[in-house]
Amino acid sequence: MIELCHVTKTFQTDHASVEAVRDVSLTIEKGDIFGIIGLSGAGKSTLVRCINFLEVPTSGEVKFKGTSLSSLSKKELLETRRSISMIFQGFNLLSQRTALKNVCYPMEIAGVPKKEAVAKAKELLEIVGLGDRMNNYPAQLSGGQKQRVAIARALAMNPEVLLCDEATSALDPNTTRAILDLLAEINKTMGVTIIVITHEMKVVEQICNKVAVLDRGSVAETGYVKDIFMAPQSAVARDLILPKGSEAMSAPEGRIIRLVFNGSQSDEPIISGLSIECRTAVSIQAADTKLIGDKMYGQMLLRLPEDEGSVQRIYNYLGTRGITFEEVKV
């Protein structure tokens, strides 16, 4: 549905050129919930603005349903943008309008008859769970409710793609989960392709089926979320899965390995079996589980014993049982 071919975006300052996006090529298919993740300054927001041509790439091509956006006239581009809607971290609601009138706004601009626009807005507010708040002004709504209004507004013109630029960054964890569940439901029931821009791996893990990891404007790696969680290939992906400043990565000095297992392995007594068969003890530094898609995945950090013989027995034990593991730096 969306194809980025060698997209680069350069900004010119008074003193130098800044390459915010570098030679990015991605394919986002219809029905995907596609995550674009990276640390601050990775070029995520610039890239998403290139997708809908709010920023025109310096070079490269952006295609929507096979048509290059650069080949469109201004009128055709405006028409295409109605199929690519966007929600933001800051909600961007009009403070002097009620929730209902905020959702009506893009339809008013498009010339939709008022009666039809109001009926559509009421329907969308019901879908996002705000049927009883349609006459409230933004100041009377919580952050999560404001974002629900923004989502309803973004859906007003029946878009095929929804761009979410850090849409949950200003929300508390419980509200974030609720908003992500709502987006997943919209994807499932309305068939809207969703692109999620975020710096939080937990957002990607909860909602996305595919992800591209950005590092200083370039794609470090891309693939299915479960595959990148199981075996990250780039340093930036590892840092996003196990942040350097986290308590788990502040372990005492020593060799640490990261075990990763899927739902089919979660019931196996891996650690007790390892201790018995390898005749050695290991220290668990951290452990957690994550629901990725509809399957449970887990990871565990183990501190290895000091003697090399015991380490090799542990590696052999894990290898023969098909447990994914890698040594990590702390």
Under 8 Å between Cβ of 169 and 89: yes
For the chain, domain boundaries: 2-240, 242-328
Higher pLDDT, 277 or 207: 207
Report the distance separating Cα 313 and Cα 309, nearest Å: 6
Is CATH 3.30.70.260 what the domain over 242-328 is classified as, yes or no? yes
Q: What percent of the chain has pLDDT over 90?
A: 43
Here the tokens at position 268 are: 């196996």
Name the DSSP letter for residue 293: T
Distance between CA atoms of residues 148 and 315, nearest Å: 48
| Least confident stretch, 18-27, 57-66, 274-283 | 274-283
pLDDT tens for each residue of 213-246: 999 999 999 999 988 988 888 888 888 887 665 5
pLDDT in tens, 13-57: 878 888 899 999 999 999 999 999 988 888 888 999 999 898 899
In the sheet that holds 283-292, the strands lie side by side as 283-292, 295-303, 256-262, 324-328
262 pLDDT higher than 80: no
In DSSP notation, 124-189 reads HHHHTT-TT-TT--GGGS-HHHHHHHHHHHHTTT--SEEEEESTTTTS-HHHHHHHHHHHHHHHHH
Nearest to 290 by CA among 221, 236, 220, 241: 241
> What tokens does 267 get?
């019931």
Q: Which helix (H) or strand (E) holds 103?
A: helix 99-109
Nearest to 170 by CA among 94, 89, 91, 88: 89
CA distance 179 to 32: 17
Residue 77 has pLDDT above 70, yes or no: yes
* Residue 308 phi, psi (nearest 5): -65, -35
Whether the Cβ atoms of residue 129 and residue 109 lie closer than 8 Å to each other: no
The reported pTM is: 0.86
Query: What residues pair up with 101 in beta bridges, in sequence order?
Result: none
* Second-level CATH architecture of 2-240: 3-Layer(aba) Sandwich (3.40)
Show the tokens assigned to 136: 């409230």
**What mean pLDDT value characterizes the chain?**
87
Q: β-pairing, 17-28 with 256-262? A: unpaired
